């Protein structure tokens, strides 16, 4: 009887959640394409009742926002392939429009690696969360913060697996746990497609940039495993990764997410 009550209690408890967004920078087309490939992979697995793939759904709910900057993305497709920002207008400025959404989050906003100049590609906006896109994600994450254990933002390019902080070279107190996850993710990517990904804190392996989504997700929303994944490549194609690499990018990221949730589960069990 006691075992039955325990089983019912476990079944009634909410699943933990993992959030993935992509395309916060409009020109990084591979990121939304990879997110859509992952959604497709899950959908096919459900239709075919593929238990090997569906095992990823047993312990976690997966939330995807495949294009966090739709207006900027559409503009990059029809007008300026390398457009980066949103398409908002502030201060009545008709020439220099848009905000870098990954400098717009309210954690150490505008401290470093961001600009007050509306014409800059790293313009952080007139104030934190000035953009409806970042506010929408903020509100969702705060609503589900009690169940979310991981936040992942897909970018491109460079092949980096990054954890906070972006505003300082100081490391989070749980740096070793974050690196445990990223080391496992990097290993499975290499075994899947042969690609090598550099891992570490954003500032120490890439550059300083305050007001980023992963910093805010960890520090303010309290999501412990918060990462930015800079997808392929190393610069041969840069933002113009060929269409025929989408499938491989999706395949390596599916393996990466499977390994990520396994590594997080291990850490949760030993806490």
Q: Which residues are catalytic?
A: 230
Contact 152, 31 (CB under 8 A): no
Q: What letter would DSSP give residue 136?
A: H
Contact 134, 105 (CB under 8 A): yes
Tokens of 173: 């107190």
Q: Give the E-state strand segments of the chain in sequence order.
A: 16-22, 60-65, 148-156, 160-163, 198-201, 225-231
Place of tokens 């805010």: 216
Contact 165, 215 (CB under 8 A): yes
The residues, ordered by sequence, that sit 6+ positions from 266 with a Cβ below 8 Å of its Cβ are none
d(CA 120, CA 139): 27
Half-sphere exposure of 238 (CA within 13 A, CB side): 4
**C-alpha torsion 214→218→223→228, nearest 10:** 20
**C-alpha torsion 217→221→222→223, nearest 10:** -50
Residue 6, SS3 per DSSP = helix
Rg of the chain in Å (alpha carbons)? 19
Q: How many CB atoms lie within 10 A of CB 65?
A: 18
Contact 100, 121 (CB under 8 A): yes
């Amino acid at each position: 009887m006691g075992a039955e009550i325990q089983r019912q209690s476990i079944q009634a408890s909410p699943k933990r959640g993992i959030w993935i967004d992509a395309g916060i920078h409009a020109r990084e087309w591979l990121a939304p394409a990879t997110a859509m490939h992952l959604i497709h992979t899950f959908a096919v697995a459900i239709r075919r009742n593929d238990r090997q793939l569906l095992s990823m759904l047993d312990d976690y709910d997966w939330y995807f926002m495949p294009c966090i900057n739709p207006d900027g993305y559409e503009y990059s497709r029809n007008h300026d392939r390398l457009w980066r920002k949103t398409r908002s207008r502030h201060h009545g400025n008709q020439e220099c429009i848009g905000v870098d959404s990954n400098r717009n989050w309210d954690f150490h906003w505008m401290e470093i690696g961001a600009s007050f100049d509306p014409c800059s590609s790293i313009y952080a906006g007139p104030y934190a969360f000035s953009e409806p896109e970042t506010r929408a994600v903020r509100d969702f994450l705060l609503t589900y913060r009690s169940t979310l254990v991981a936040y992942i933002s897909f970018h491109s390019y460079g092949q980096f697996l990054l954890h906070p902080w972006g505003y300082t070279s100081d490391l989070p107190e749980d740096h070793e746990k974050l690196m445990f996850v990223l080391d496992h993710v990097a290993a499975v990517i290499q075994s899947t497609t042969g690609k090598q990904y550099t891992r570490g804190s954003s500032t120490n392996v890439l550059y300083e940039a305050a007001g980023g989504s992963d910093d805010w997700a960890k520090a303010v929303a309290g999501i412990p495993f918060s990462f930015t994944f800079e997808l392929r490549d190393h610069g041969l194609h840069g933002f113009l990764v060929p269409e025929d690499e989408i499938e491989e990018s999706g395949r390596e990221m599916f393996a990466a997410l499977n390994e990520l949730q396994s590594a997080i589960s291990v850490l949760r069990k030993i806490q």
